[in-house]
Copies of this chain bind each other. A is one copy, B any other.
Amino acid sequence: MKFSKNQLERYPIYLKYFNELEDDGQEYVSSPSIAAKLGFSEEQVRKDLQAISNEQGKPKKGRSVRSLIRDIETFLGYKDETKAVLIGVGHLGGALLNYPAFKNMGLAIVAGLDSDKNKIGTSVGGIEIYSPDKLKEILKKNDAKIVVIAVPATHAQRVADEAIASGAKAIWNFAPAHLEVEENIVVENVNLASSLAVLSHRLNLAVAKERK
Contacts and interface: CB of A to CB of B under 8 A. Distances in A.
Interface of A: 3, 5, 8-13, 15-17, 37-38, 76-77, 82, 90-92, 94-95, 98-99, 101-102, 105-107, 125, 145-146, 153, 169-170, 172, 176-178, 180, 184-186, 188, 190-204, 206-207, 209-210
A98 B105 contact: no
A188 B195 contact: yes
18 contacts: A3-B201, A5-B198, A8-B201, A10-B194, A15-B193, A16-B178, A77-B200, A91-B99, A95-B95, A101-B192, A105-B196, A106-B200, A146-B199, A146-B203, A172-B196, A184-B210, A188-B195, A190-B192
Contacts of A192: 99, 101-102, 190
Given A12-B176, A13-B191, A106-B200, 14 more contacts: A11-B194, A12-B194, A17-B178, A77-B200, A77-B204, A91-B125, A107-B196, A169-B206, A170-B206, A186-B202, A186-B203, A186-B206, A188-B196, A190-B195
Nearest to A171: B199
B146 A197 contact: no
Contacts of A195: 9, 172, 188, 190
Contacts of A99: 91-92, 192
B145 A197 contact: no
Nearest to A82: B200
A180 to B, nearest CB: 7
A171 B200 CA distance: 10
B202 A188 contact: yes
A194 B14 CA distance: 10
A172 to B, nearest CB: 6
Given A94-B91, A95-B91, A198-B5, A145 B203 contact: yes
- Sorted nearest first, the 7 A-B pairs with minimum C-beta distance are A12-B193, A9-B194, A188-B199, A91-B95, A95-B95, A91-B98, A170-B203
A202 to B, nearest CB: 4
